[in-house]
Amino acid sequence: MIGDLLAKLGEFGQFVAAFSVASVRNPPPVVRTIEEAYRIGVQSLPILLIVSVFVGTNLSVQGHNAFEQLGGQAMVGTFVALAGVREMAPIMVASMVAAKAGTEMASQIAVMRIQEQIDALEVMAIDPLWFLVTPRLLGILVVLPALTMISVATLLVAAWVVAVSQLGLNGADFIAQCADTTRGADLVYGQVKAFVFAIIICLVSCFYGYTSPKGAKGVGQATNAAVVVSAVVCAVLNYLLSELLYG
Amino acid sequence: MVERLARIGHFGTFAGQVLWRSVTPAWEVDAFLSQLWALWWRCLLPVLATTTPLGMVMALQGLQIFDLYGAQRLLSPLVSVATFRELSPVLASVLVAAQGGSSFAAELGAMRIREELDATEVMGIDSIRVHVVPRFLAAVVATPLLNLAGSLGGIVGGYVSAVLLKGETAGVYWSNLWVMTRPMDLLGGYVKAITFGAIIGMVACYFGFYARGGAPGVGRAVNDTVVVSATTFIVVNYFLTSALFGAIG
């Protein structure tokens, strides 16, 4: 168990090292980066909007419930701004992008591996790591922080709608509390988190795809491992980053 | 649009078949138990590894607010209520979808691609009863069990962060833990976990059972499973929260 884990970690280290060398040695793939960024962003946006809306509404309802017992129903705006902007939005965006774009990266690259397309790239003297991984990493680095911002905005609007229409709170107070609570630094820290999560999701997913076992089952396993490992690593790093940034 | 509606109808038919076979004999008890065992062990570590850090984050952020008012004793009730109501059911289910649901889709998809499912049908064996129902029921039973593990992880995470790292008093943390938690919070969390488990099991088996187009098809089935089940239960979560906790305040 531990041995397997260490072996995997070592393999991952080699993968990252080889990838870094490949990225530096070759010219930056500008056009493919734009393509990947567009694809990752457009693919993930609809589900992200749905999820953000419902996380926002849920935060309002739960915040209202929690503070009602303390007689502070009016604090909902503060709660939503704190919990939503600082914590929920970055980690939620990361999990959904890992589920959508990360699994897609893993399964695409795994299919290329088992259909020997990666070997074909090598034969054509194109570095497969540079060709496949670099544009995905640059693309997700551009897109994930932007998606996080969009998610923060959507979440706040949805929370506001629920606070006013379902919970009957004063809308202007809610906005004032959000504005008071959210500092510029919170938004910047959210972007820092998004940046780190983007690197983790892309490298982990591409690693599992690149080292996929043979066969249809292998592709399934690689995709499976990609989303679980990136979600767990993001959750753990999220704590460390929160401790570092807010602690 | 029509295609999407047809797809929903197709899913509905499949779900009806699975549900009917889940409540009528003969049950594949051995298959169910082995699926349940496999699912539990496969998901336990990922669930604990995500709920614990999130419990720690919650304690970290909660302390910042409660420190302002000198109300540190409210921290552990916050951690406990939030964990039981929201954090653990949702997170445990996300991980069950990512780890368990996707492996269901991968297994069934690979069986479909290798024509094993067609072979069982040819032999006159009901493949839904033999392959799908045990997995579906395993997801329904395992998710609440993993929710239990996840809530413990969240609470221990809160303890580690607040008491061990930030130097709050251990007695204050443990003695206030249950102050605001009511039976409804626990019950509601389990209602959520069971519902989410059913969604995951059904969606995963549907995408796996009808996978098409070789190895890429299996990859796509896994991808769709995680995305569709996670999105669905986050939407359902809001309605369940309003229904279960909205009225009792």
Who contacts B234 (Cβ-Cβ below 8 Å, separation ≥6)? A50, A51, A54, A55, B90
Who contacts A244 (Cβ-Cβ below 8 Å, separation ≥6)? none
Spacing of C-alpha A236 from chain mean position? 13
pLDDT for position A71: 65
Alpha-carbon gap, residue A81 to A70, rounded angstroms: 19
Confidence label for B244 from pLDDT (cuts 50, 70 and 90): confident
pLDDT for position B213: 86
Measured between beta carbons, the chain B residues lying within 8 angstroms of A219 are 106, 215-216, 218-219, 222
Total H helices, total E strands in chain B = 11, 0
CA distance B150 to chain A (A): 13
Nearest to A35 by CA among A143, A111, A129, A196: A143
- What is the amino acid identity at position A207? F
Rg of chain B, C-alpha, whole Å: 21
Question: Could B227 and A100 be called an inter-chain contact, meaning their C-beta atoms sit closer than 8 Å?
Answer: yes
pLDDT reading at B248 higher than 70: no
Range of the domain at B199: 2-246
As a whole number, the mean pLDDT across chain B is 89
Q: Residue A212 gets which letter from DSSP?
A: P
pLDDT in tens, chain A (247 residues): 788 889 999 999 999 999 999 988 888 888 999 999 999 999 899 999 999 999 999 888 888 877 776 666 667 888 888 888 888 899 999 999 999 899 999 999 999 998 899 999 999 988 999 999 999 999 999 999 999 999 999 999 999 999 888 888 888 888 888 888 888 888 899 999 999 999 999 999 999 999 998 888 888 889 889 999 999 999 999 999 998 888 7
CA distance B68 to chain A (A): 13
pLDDT for position A73: 65
Interface of B with A in 64-123 (CB under 8 A): 64-65, 74, 78, 81-82, 85-86, 94-95, 97-99, 102-103, 105-107, 109-110, 113-114
pLDDT reading at B249 higher than 50: no
Alpha-carbon gap, residue A100 to A118, rounded angstroms: 23
Q: Domain locations in chain A?
A: 14-246
Tokens of A118: 């990666």
Measured between beta carbons, the chain A residues lying within 8 angstroms of B219 are 103, 106-108, 110-111, 219-220, 222-223
Alpha-carbon gap, residue B104 to B99, rounded angstroms: 9
- Evaluate the CA torsion angle A65, A71, A74, A79 in order and state its sign: negative
- What is the amino acid identity at position B34? S
Interface of B with A in 147-206 (CB under 8 A): 161, 165, 180
CA distance B95 to chain A (A): 7
Question: Could B81 and A86 be called an inter-chain contact, meaning their C-beta atoms sit closer than 8 Å?
Answer: no
User: What are the CA-CA distances from residue B225 to residues A188, A218, B65, B97 (Å)?
Assistant: 33, 17, 38, 8
Does the global pTM surpass 0.90? Answer: no
- What is the amino acid identity at position A143? V
Work out how many domains chain B is built from and give that number.
Answer: 1
CA distance B132 to chain A (A): 17
